[in-house]
Amino acid sequence: MNRLTLLLLFTGVVGWTQNTPIQNDSTEVALDEVVLIAKTKKKIETEMKMAVSVDEFLASSDNISFIKRGAYAWEPLLNNMSTERSIITIDGMHVFGACTDKMDPITSYVESNNLASIEIKSGQEGGMQGSTVAGSINLKRKNTSFTNYKDWKGAYQSGFEFNNKQFFNLGNISYSSEKFVTEGSFSYRKAENYSDGNNDKVNHSQFRKFNSSLGLTYKTSDLSSLRVDAIFDQANDVGYPALPMDLWLSRALITSVAYKQLFEEGLVRVWDSKIYFNTIEHYMDDTTRPENLVHMDMPGWSTTYGLVSKINLKKDNYSSEIQLNAYNNLSIAEMRMYPQDRSERTMFAYSWPWVTTRYAGVSINNSFEVTEKTQLNFGGSLGLNYNHSKYVDFNWIFHPGVPQEKTRFLPSLYAGYTIDVNKFNFSVGSGYGHRAPSVSEGYGYYIYNSFDRYDYIGNPDLKNEISYEINASAGFKNEKISFQVKANYFHIQNYIIGRILSMGSPMNYQSVGVKGYTSLDYATLFNFSLNAKYDILEHLHWNGTLTYARGKDNKEGNLPFIRPLSYQTLLQYHYKDFGFQTSVNGDFEQIDYSPEYGEDKTPSYTVWNLSADYTFYLENFSTTFQVGAENLLNEYYSTYADWGNIPRMGRNIFTSIKFNF
């Protein structure tokens, strides 16, 4: 029903766009994004590699690490916290994965050529998009500006990676004029199994991904525009070597209609509103694994629709953003097991028993320039989170009599102060915020976690997780040298984590027991990063990063998936149209691992990468050709967050070519 309404809305809006008479006179106002406070990572490429996947790009950020279950769909950890604690949005739209085993983080449903940038905010500053503990990751769509003249632009990128025989084609094209912009992209990646540092094939690590997007923007007046946007993504035959099953098919359709109004005068500068709808289906397949004596179908569906509306205010040295978020999500996941004798009756249960999540919240973000050199940022949000479990009987098995519905209030507050003193800059900040348990944490039922080999049971009565956070940074910058030190500390009350349940016995074939999500009294997390840059010569640049994190539970035990001391150093040299890059990165030995949560000690590793590129003109196309090698020394390693200690890719020679026109 809801889908139908949306479809009608969709057709209506598009139809209306077409019928609007074209107005002629226009004073040129660029409808560029007014970014007030956001610190944005521009350009979807890393220093080492120009044709990267979204995951590879995110990996180049200091405060992102990954849980990897294979070569595809890595789960991003922000500030060393898993995706339940962060908010991942696409242009402010909430999208929820349909896989109970986190095989489809939202980042797997976009592609690098339909994104403009990724905005990462740490801690409560990320509360604009909703309630969070770790922060927010907003994947920003490409958005071409209106032009005075008719303009076609495009890029085409193709490449081959030798290790896993990955062949990819990425293309995007845009047309812009005074009144109308349309842009589209497509991409197709196909990869086979990769080989580790011992040149052994890692079975079930292949993938195929198709992605396309389309955006239409129409200038409804000099100061307003209407945009219709859609992303379609489909992945087939994706292997997850660390899991006992693979993906047969996942498909996402992510759509939105947005209206943006600018104001030349007055307090309100921008009003940007969007309604959106997205639907994801995800079907796992374990028949590809001969070791599975029993087969289980685990389809999942996630459908979300919502509204996001934002106004930007500005007056003198004060600016502010106010955002309204509202969404409705329905998450369904099934388990159906087949006995050896297929004529026998199958077994059936819901791992997500039709769980509805509704959220509505208002967030505000203020920025006040006290003096030219000092700035105060403060804000907060208040959200209302509602959950409903349709087949609550499943939840009653372990939690008899819990209510079918649950409403939570989720407040958050934060403040930060930055000051520039000569070439130095300093900042301090603090935050407080609640988050609601995720669908799995609240309502999950026998969700098999292949890392610690336990079946997980959600608890609808979990308390809100409450985060108290402090952060500070200091930096220095002159013509040649810059460095930045950042640290944050989280004290998280009612920290949600799985604990062994004495009652209940496992259901999944490989499982060893049952864990229930429970709240620890508290847990603490400390993150530190040091980033330095040095321009040695005009064309020779160096930069290095060091990160460290420590997570502890209330009994001083280690939390899982905390990145050990890690480093990255990069040297770049440009000469005329040539570029050379080399980098070394690695982790130290993981000393503070957590056997209780299924971790073992991961040894240190070092990886050396090298690449070279050449830019030239082919006819009228600006063309860049790049060749390089990752893990040049073919080191055999797996990181602390590689699910089941699966080895990472060995030496990988990559080539890519990009045409811009």
Report in angstroms how near the CB of residue 341 gets to other proteins at its nearest. 9
Binding of other proteins by 147 (CB under 8 A) = no
The stretch among 57-65, 293-301, 377-385, 430-438 that binds other proteins (CB under 8 A) is 293-301
> Which residues, in sequence order, are bridge partners of residue 608?
584
Binding of other proteins by 632 (CB under 8 A) = no
Sign of CA dihedral 107, 109, 112, 117: negative
Report in angstroms how near the CB of residue 168 gets to other proteins at its nearest. 22
Our CB check for other proteins shows the closer of 338 and 614 to be 338
Our CB check for other proteins shows the closer of 450 and 464 to be 450
Q: In the set 9, 34, 294, 370, which binds other proteins (CB under 8 A)?
A: 294
Q: Are 660 and 618 in contact (CB under 8 A)?
A: no
Say whether 572 sits in a helix, a strand or coil. strand
Our CB check for other proteins shows the closer of 371 and 505 to be 505
Binding of other proteins by 618 (CB under 8 A) = no
Closest CA to 546 of 77, 46, 62: 62
* Sequence letter at residue 518: T
Binding of other proteins by 340 (CB under 8 A) = yes
Site for other proteins in 178-237 (CB under 8 A): 180, 182, 184, 214, 216, 228, 230, 232
* Cα–Cα distance measured from residue 156 to residue 276, given in angstroms and rounded to the nearest whole number: 29
Site for other proteins in 511-530 (CB under 8 A): 511-513
Whose structure tokens read 């130095």?
424
* Cα–Cα distance measured from residue 446 to residue 506, given in angstroms and rounded to the nearest whole number: 8
> Which two tokens mark 32?
């560029």
Binding of other proteins by 350 (CB under 8 A) = yes
302: left (phi over 0), alpha (psi -120 to 50) or beta: beta
Binding of other proteins by 16 (CB under 8 A) = no
Binding of other proteins by 347 (CB under 8 A) = yes
Report in angstroms how near the CB of residue 14 gets to other proteins at its nearest. 5
Report in angstroms how near the CB of residue 572 gets to other proteins at its nearest. 40
Binding of other proteins by 396 (CB under 8 A) = yes
* Cα–Cα distance measured from residue 241 to residue 16, given in angstroms and rounded to the nearest whole number: 49
Fill in the per-residue mask, 252 to 271: x = in contact with other proteins (CB under 8 A), - = not in contact.
-x-x----------------
Alpha-carbon torsion angle 28, 32, 36, 37, nearest 10: -160
* Cα–Cα distance measured from residue 503 to residue 394, given in angstroms and rounded to the nearest whole number: 15
Q: In the set 167, 210, 283, 417, which binds other proteins (CB under 8 A)?
A: 283
Our CB check for other proteins shows the closer of 3 and 201 to be 3
Report in angstroms how near the CB of residue 137 gets to other proteins at its nearest. 25
Binding of other proteins by 450 (CB under 8 A) = no
What's the distance, Cα to Cα, between the start and end of the chain in Å? 44
Q: Are 362 and 324 in contact (CB under 8 A)?
A: yes
Count of positions on this chain that bind other proteins (CB under 8 A): 61
Binding of other proteins by 349 (CB under 8 A) = yes
The stretch among 132-140, 155-163, 335-343, 380-388 that binds other proteins (CB under 8 A) is 335-343
Alpha-helical runs (H) found in 478-567: none
Report in angstroms how near the CB of residue 114 gets to other proteins at its nearest. 14
* Cα–Cα distance measured from residue 502 to residue 516, given in angstroms and rounded to the nearest whole number: 10
> Which two tokens mark 15?
């139809």
Report in angstroms how near the CB of residue 406 gets to other proteins at its nearest. 19
Binding of other proteins by 5 (CB under 8 A) = no
Q: In the set 50, 501, 562, 629, which binds other proteins (CB under 8 A)?
A: 501
Binding of other proteins by 9 (CB under 8 A) = no
Q: In the set 42, 149, 400, 620, which binds other proteins (CB under 8 A)?
A: 400
Our CB check for other proteins shows the closer of 232 and 636 to be 232
Binding of other proteins by 154 (CB under 8 A) = no
* Cα–Cα distance measured from residue 389 to residue 383, given in angstroms and rounded to the nearest whole number: 20
Report in angstroms how near the CB of residue 108 gets to other proteins at its nearest. 17
Binding of other proteins by 439 (CB under 8 A) = no
Our CB check for other proteins shows the closer of 505 and 620 to be 505
Q: In the set 507, 525, 562, 629, which binds other proteins (CB under 8 A)?
A: 507
- DSSP string computed for 299-342: EEEEEEEEEEEEEEEEETTEEEEEEEEEEEEEEEEEEEEE-SST
Q: Phi, psi (5° rounding) for residue 613?
A: -140, 160
Our CB check for other proteins shows the closer of 411 and 506 to be 506
Binding of other proteins by 355 (CB under 8 A) = no
Kind and range of the H or E run holding 78: strand 75-78
Site for other proteins in 461-480 (CB under 8 A): none
* Sequence letter at residue 32: D
**How far is residue 78 from each of residues 92, 558, 573, 592, measured CA to CA in Å?**
17, 18, 31, 19
Q: In the set 305, 446, 561, 597, which binds other proteins (CB under 8 A)?
A: 446
**How far is residue 148 from each of residues 31, 177, 184, 242, 464, measured CA to CA in Å?**
13, 6, 20, 52, 51
Q: In the set 263, 509, 534, 625, which binds other proteins (CB under 8 A)?
A: 509
Binding of other proteins by 281 (CB under 8 A) = yes
* Sequence letter at residue 20: T
* Cα–Cα distance measured from residue 222 to residue 260, given in angstroms and rounded to the nearest whole number: 11
* Cα–Cα distance measured from residue 481 to residue 132, given in angstroms and rounded to the nearest whole number: 35
Binding of other proteins by 503 (CB under 8 A) = yes
Q: Are 525 and 495 in contact (CB under 8 A)?
A: no
Distance of CA 635 to the CA centre of its chain: 28
Our CB check for other proteins shows the closer of 345 and 555 to be 345
The stretch among 5-13, 61-69, 188-196, 310-318 that binds other proteins (CB under 8 A) is 5-13
Whose structure tokens read 């081959």?
160
Binding of other proteins by 172 (CB under 8 A) = no
54 Cβ contact list (under 8 Å, min separation 6): 44, 107, 108, 110, 111, 112, 115, 118, 139
Contact residues for other proteins, defined by CB under 8 A: 3, 7, 10-11, 14-15, 17-18, 180, 182, 184, 214, 216, 228, 230, 232, 249, 251, 253, 255, 279, 281, 283, 293-294, 299, 301, 332, 334-340, 344-350, 391, 393-394, 396-398, 400, 446, 501, 503-507, 509-513
